[in-house]
A and B are shown apart, each in its own frame.
Chain A
Amino acid sequence: MVLTWHDVRQTDIMHKKEDRMIKRLAAAMLMTAAASFLFAGGSKDAAGKSTGTKGATIKFRYWADNTGYSKLMQDIIAKFNAENGKGITVVGEESPWDGGAYSQNLFNVKMGGGDVDCATWKLTSTPLFVNNDLLEDLTPYINKWNKKADIDPNIYNIMKKAGGSDKIFVMPWNIQVLYVYYRPSYFKKAGISVPKTYAEFLEAVKKCTMDTNGDGKPDVYGFGMRGSKGGQEPWGSFIYGEGGSFDKLDSAESVKGMQDYIDLFKSGYVPPTAPSDGFNEIIANFQSGLTAMTIHHTGSSQKMIDKFGDDVSAFPFPAGKGQWTSMGDTETVVFKSCKNKEAAFEWVAYLAAGEGQKMWCEGTGNVPVSKTVAAEPFFQNNRFMKASIAGEGFAGILPILDTTTEWISVTWPNTIAQALTGKIDAKTCMDTLQKGLYGKK
């Protein structure tokens, strides 16, 4: 084949077109890369600055346990926005609790420079955020607040303890005091009354384990034990019942409390699924009539009433050599990165002792931290609320350390399961838990 001058010229034109395409493509890529750097650097500065509370927009992150609570929070936000009279607009951003991943996601957001101004909170997260200098010290705001005295000083002390200093990084919001649900009809069948002591409680668990159909196997277990994550809260009552405490998990008294726990499982007074039973399982077991008692708080009380009517009630965990029940907590925090901290404090104060406190606690059944709200008939006339309030005097929290989250999520459930299934004894179990909580990892 012979190439003509025309062929050569056409080839040359084609190559020159290719050259121009390559140069344009390279230029386009460079421009795109440069533009993306510009936008990435600019996005963090998108939030506007404001002085005073007027016109302030506060981004508030929260979780809601169900769609009803979600709507309730949106209603509270709307009411605050309409009535605060200071031009503050709260923008709510719901994020799922997801077994505690809420706190981890919030940490990732704040470490990444995200623009969340305030959020709902669990005390166990406090050391992590304080150590990373993410939380605003609310002490000066609370000291100036005209409703400061409406919240018990003991609650402020618990907030300070969680932060590891005299500063209050966490604003109280509501508490959930654990109590014991029981079925009056099962108690009547077993011939017992509400236990007044820890020893009577253990006896009640045994007597309420019943074979109701005569097949030689229990159809009702005395107690719904929670061996999975979250079970450390009801478990603590057993430890204190024998005179032990969270301050010294490896003491002889604490080991005895653990032995009581193991004995209940090994003797068949609790469902054999206990080592892996979580919140859903213990509630399902109680609501299906499989268990006569279980431990939870007012958050589940409405469902119990809907299911059983008058055939469900509650009593505070009785005293033995010691007495303790878990004070579940939910609070709010304001982040240091918030550009209008006064406006954010207005919002969290509304939730703590204003109309927001009343609406939230009435809607969810949680115990209010505001004394004024707690005195209202709604709370004083509810049998579950009364059991909660009766427990406030001996309610406490787990030690809030930087090991607490891992201890709750991994160490406690697995070590307890080892003890319940006989892999380790009570002493080894408590030694492991003591080291896991207080030893450096």
Chain B
Amino acid sequence: MEKNKTVWPYLLVTPAVLVILLVVFVPVVHAFLMSFQSYDLRRPKEIAFIGLQNYGEMIADPLFWSALLRTVAWVVFGVGFQFIFGFSLALLLNKYFFGRGVIRAVSMVPWVTPGVLIGLMWRWIYDGNFGVLNDVLMRLGILKDKIPFLSQTTTALPCVIVAIIWQGIPFFALMLLAALQVVPEELYEAAEMDGANHIQKFFSVTIPSIKNTICITLLLRVIWVANSVDVIFNMTEGGPAYSTQTLSVYIYNKGSSLNLGYASCMAIVLALLLALVAVPYLKSTFRSAS
């Protein structure tokens, strides 16, 4: 009887585990194995094991290093400003004001908009000849001449980062708002009785209370933004002159060209780098659980 009781939970999770193994584990292992092969579907007869040659080519590839640096900028500024604006919005929406419900609903729009649509929309907003941004800035007297935002290497990446910031603000706003709403009111009352001002209450009560939510949302968003391709691809396809080509876009371009061995090699490296970001969080989670 006792033995049957311990088998039952394992049987129930078996379907989910099988799906995860098939859909996640098997492709990852396959990609790992491809990274050691000259796996180019344009030359199927030349597919062979080549050891670390792909990794060597990657280290010598200037496009890889520039894409990696660009990815760091993309993630740091993209996620950083998403967090700042999202947290600010969450603090605002946590207070009661007239129309708060409507504002909460409308602020979700960027999050529910598909990435492809975001890319196309912002592409036309930034258009150097007909874009609404140039039009508004010229009417306000801020610009004398139109700026071809997505045609200049100096402005293309910041413009794409603005688009991803716009997309990600609601995610942080929603998650942090939920966390703020369960912070016990008594903690604020106790802090007030001890003479704490708003800033002290914020750093001593609010932040520690929602620390876990901040960590998990930042971790998730770093991984998602680092891996995202859709917004960049639909705005600039990684151009002009590779100036918006992050590592994910480079991997996508190489994979689309069917050089799967090299694409897999870079994908494995990107996954390892993201794992480095995830490990400290997971370690602290397991420590807390135990």
- Any B CB within 8 A of the CB of A49: no
The answer to whether B284 has its CB under 8 Å from any CB of chain A is no
A15 touches B4 (CB 8 A): yes
Does B94 make an interface contact (CB < 8 A)? no
Docked complex: B233-264 residues within 8 A CB-CB of A: 236-242, 245, 253, 256-259
Q: Using Cβ atoms and an 8 Å threshold, which residues of chain B touch A217?
A: 145
In the assembly, what is the distance between CA of A285 and CA of B7, in Å? 69
Interface residues on chain B, number (Cβ under 8 Å)? 37
A396 contacts partner chain B, Cβ-Cβ < 8 Å = no
- Confirm or deny: B42 has a beta carbon within 8 angstroms of a beta carbon on chain A: yes
Looking at B26-34, B125-133, B192-200, B224-232, the stretch in contact with chain A turns out to be B125-133
| Contact (Cβ within 8 A) A414 B242 | yes
The answer to whether B129 and A271 touch across the interface, beta carbons within 8 angstroms, is yes
Say yes or no for B11: interface residue by CB 8 A criterion: yes
CB distance from A288 to the nearest CB of B (A): 7
Are B239 and A276 closer than 8 Å at their CB atoms?
yes
Say whether A273 contacts B151, CB under 8 Å. yes
Cα distance A275–B4 when bound, in Å?
68
Q: Is B148 an interface residue (CB 8 A)?
A: yes
The segment from A155-163, A201-209, A357-365, A402-410 found at the interface with B is: A402-410
Contact between B130 and A421 (Cβ–Cβ < 8 Å)?
Answer: no
> Contact at B4–A273, with CB atoms within 8 Å?
no
A142 within 8 A of B: no
Closest chain A residue to B150, Cβ basis: A276
B8: contacting residue among A18, A285, A413, A418, CB under 8 A: A18
Closest residue of B by beta carbon distance from A32: B15
Known: A22-B11, A273-B151, A276-B150. A128 touches B237 (CB 8 A): no
Contacting pair A284 B152 (CB below 8 A):
no
A48 vs B236: C-alpha distance when bound (angstroms): 46
Binary contact readout A398-425 vs B (1 if CB under 8 angstroms, 0 otherwise): 0000110110011001110110110100
Q: Return the contact of B256 from the options A403, A409, A414 (Cβ within 8 A).
A: A409
B45 located at the interface, meaning its Cβ lies under 8 Å from any Cβ of chain A in the complex:
yes
Residue-by-residue, is B40-76 near A (CB-CB < 8 Å gives 1, otherwise 0)?
Answer: 0111110000000000000000000000000000000
Given A104-B256, A273-B148, A402-B42: A22 in contact with B241 (beta carbons within 8 A): no
Q: Mark B1-39, 1 if CB is under 8 A from A, else 0.
A: 100100110010011000000000000000000000000
**Is B153 positioned at the interface, with any CB of A under 8 Å from its CB?**
yes
Given A26-B11, A29-B14, A402-B42, the answer on whether A276 and B253 have CB atoms closer than 8 Å is: no
Interface residue? A132 (CB, 8 A)? yes
1/0 per position for B254-284, CB-CB distance to A under 8 A? 0011110000000000000000000000000
Complexed CA–CA distance, A30 and B160 (Å):
50
Chain B residues contacting A128 (CB-CB under 8 Å) are: 41-42, 258
Please tell me if the beta carbons of A414 and B8 are within 8 angstroms of each other in the complex. no
- Within the complex, which residue of B45, B129, B145, B256 is in contact with A273, where a contact is CB–CB below 8 Å? B129
Verify A423–B148 contact, CB threshold 8 A. no
At the interface, is chain B mostly helix, strand, loop or mixed?
Answer: loop
Which chain A residues numbered 270 to 299 have a C-beta less than 8 Å away from chain B? 271-277, 281, 284-285, 288, 290
Q: Please, how many angstroms separate the alpha-carbon atoms of A221 and B145 in the complex? A: 15
Q: If A410-B257, A441-B259 touch, does A421 touch B42 (CB 8 Å cutoff)?
A: no
Residues of A within 8 A of B42 (CB): 127-128, 131, 402-403
Are A22 and B8 within 8 A (Cβ)? yes
Contact of B241 among A274, A406, A418 (CB under 8 A): A418
Given A410-B253, A421-B153, A423-B153, verify A227-B240 contact (CB < 8 Å).
Answer: yes
- A417 in contact with B11 (CB, 8 Å): no
A229 located at the interface, meaning its Cβ lies under 8 Å from any Cβ of chain B in the complex: yes
- Do residues B153 and A402 form an inter-chain contact, with CB atoms below 8 A? no
Which residues of chain A come closer than 8 Å to B240, judged between CB atoms? 227, 275-276, 413-414, 417-418, 420-421
Q: A22-B8, A131-B43, A131-B44 are contacts. A406–B257 as well, Cβ < 8 Å?
A: yes
Answer yes or no: A194 CB below 8 A from chain B CBs.
no
Neighbouring B residues of A415 by C-beta, 8 Å: 241
Please, which residues of chain A bring their CB within 8 A of the CB of B1? 15
CB of A407 to closest CB in B, whole Å? 9
Residues of A contacting B245 with CB < 8 Å?
414
How long is the Cα–Cα vector from A285 to B242 in the complex, in angstroms? 24
B residues 104-161 in Cβ contact with A at 8 Å:
127-130, 145-146, 148, 150-153, 156
B14 neighbours in A (Cβ, 8 Å): 29
Given A22-B7, A420-B240, 5 more pairs with CB closer than 8 A: A128-B258, A271-B148, A273-B148, A417-B151, A417-B153
Question: What are 20 A-B pairs with beta-carbon distances under 8 A?
Answer: A15-B4, A26-B11, A107-B41, A128-B42, A131-B42, A132-B44, A228-B239, A271-B129, A272-B128, A275-B151, A275-B152, A276-B236, A276-B240, A290-B129, A403-B42, A414-B238, A414-B241, A414-B245, A417-B240, A421-B152
The interface of chain A, by Cβ under 8 A from chain B, is 15, 18-19, 22, 25-26, 29, 104, 107, 111, 127-128, 131-132, 217, 227-229, 271-277, 281, 284-285, 288, 290, 402-403, 405-406, 409-410, 413-415, 417-418, 420-421, 423, 441
Which 8 A/B pairs are nearest by Cβ-Cβ distance? A417-B240, A406-B257, A273-B128, A402-B42, A417-B241, A418-B241, A275-B240, A273-B148
